Structure 1
């Protein structure tokens, strides 16, 4: 019997990187077993170095090998399962999508620091500290550019849901939590992400979690 792949994740309320891999796999229709290990607990300290070479989440075990980092996991799925269409088919458009995804992977430090992901909270107006407005403006520009230039085939950045959308999904949750409004194009895109059935499932699970990480709470 074929072994189901396993995706190790952290708390759904807080773990933005877990959301990226989890959402990408769900929307792509990949069958996997989810194993949640609560962050900053004794269980985490014991298990994380075992299931992940980096001792971080997400980590994906396909029965033979472990792949870690959300972008690495989703790139592996895009390569091994091209039918998932996790990247645009056109090479030039795919290059833009990768650039957008990598900008998210390595950037927007002020936003990440001052607006931590917290799906359970509504904190409009908080987190607007040094550098955050610049990050918000740049993300709004990315959303508008992608939607207007490449998004005609659907509701997402490049039409069909792609890795780029998975990478920005935690930003959408942050903008929801902290009451960040963009232009009509950006707002419509964010609503499309929030309306994904998998995204609704993630939010429902986050609301039901009992764990609270004080250092990740704002307000």
Structure 2
């Protein structure tokens, strides 16, 4: 049996690859990795090549004994199965709740802060969040705070789960913009626990070394450009 091979993506652009990678690491899966450059213009040719092994022609893709698992959430579920199910709660209802959070993220997280991309977390200067974005942060953080409170931490369901791991890139991109909302304090310990994980720090360290990738959707039409330097919250983790 050969080692599984993960076709991953550019560290400061591929949030979905990060999710799959973190789950495989957390599960203790021994895998090879090939990082596919998904930055334009190389993106198009590189993903076309990925299409030879993956119908969606996207990353991440995990190849196990010649079989392609070509969706990030499916890879995360594979990781959970590979470690005997310890990345989901034992309780049936809690396991369904964890999967609900994962599905919410996977389906777009209700478009929360859609202009704040994963790439923007690595911009040297960042814009101020709009009032709507701040409200959306409050909504999301408030939901997560309830799970942390009910489990007593340190993770959403007590122990580390796919629900925590799938939300890491979202927490990275939002916390990088320093939203000031009441519910953020309630999940600060959870946030810092996630960001302090060795695997998260490794990915973030590699991502910081890459040139920032500008998104044309980042600035808000009609809003004055107000870019500012925000202290890197990940240095303290």
What TM bracket, shorter-length normalisation?
Answer: 0.7 to 0.9
Q: Give the TM-score of the pair, scaled to structure 2.
A: 0.80
Which residue matches 1:215? 215
Q: SS at 1:7's partner residue?
A: strand
Q: Who is 1:176 aligned against?
A: 175
- Measure, in 2, the Cα distance between the counterparts of 1:125 and 1:186: 23
Structure possessing the higher radius of gyration over alpha carbons: 2
Runs of 4+ displaced beyond 4 Å:
122-125, 216-219
**CA shift for structure 1 position 206:** 0.7
1:20–1:166 CA contact under 8 A, matched in 2: yes
Secondary structure of residue in 2 paired with 1:92: helix
Q: Could you tell me which residue of structure 2 aligns to residue 81 of structure 1?
A: 83
Distance in 1, matches of 2:129 and 2:59, equals 25
Q: 1:49-98, CA deviations, whole angstroms, 9 ceiling, x for partnerless residues?
A: 12322111111111231111111111122234315x11001111111111
Distance in structure 2 (CA, Å) of the matches to 1:117 and 1:67 = 23
DSSP-derived class of the 1:190 partner: helix
Q: What's the C-alpha RMSD, in Å, of the aligned pairs?
A: 2.3
**Retained in 1: the 8 A contact 2:9–2:17?**
yes
> After the TM superposition, which residues 97-176 of structure 1 pair with which residues of structure 2 at under 5 Å, given as runs?
97-108=98-109, 110-111=111-112, 113-118=114-119, 119-128=121-130, 130=132, 132-150=133-151, 152=152, 154-176=153-175
3-state SS of 1:114 partner: coil
Q: Distance in 2 between matches of 1:216 and 1:8?
A: 27
The Cα shift of 1:161 comes to 1.0
Equivalences for residues 60-99 of structure 1 within 5 A:
60-82=62-84, 85-99=86-100
Aligned length: 213
Find the aligned partners of 1:217 and 1:168 in 2 and give their Cα distance. 22
1:153-195 CA distance string (max 9 Å, x none): x521111111101110011111232112443221211111110
**Cα shift at 1:11:** 0.8
**Contact 1:9/1:18 (<8 A) preserved:** yes
**1:124 Cα offset (Å):** 5.0
Task: Give, in whole Å, the separation in 2 of the partners of 1:61 and 1:159.
Answer: 31
- The structure richer in helix per residue is 1
CA positional deviation for 1:217:
8.2
Gaps of 5+ in 2: 219-226, 228-237
1:121 Cα deviation after fit: 2.6
Shift of 1:112: 5.2
Distance 2:107 2:127 in 1: 25
Segments of structure 1 that go 5 or more residues without pairing to the other structure are none
- The separation in 2 between residues aligned to 1:35 and 1:198, in whole angstroms, is 17
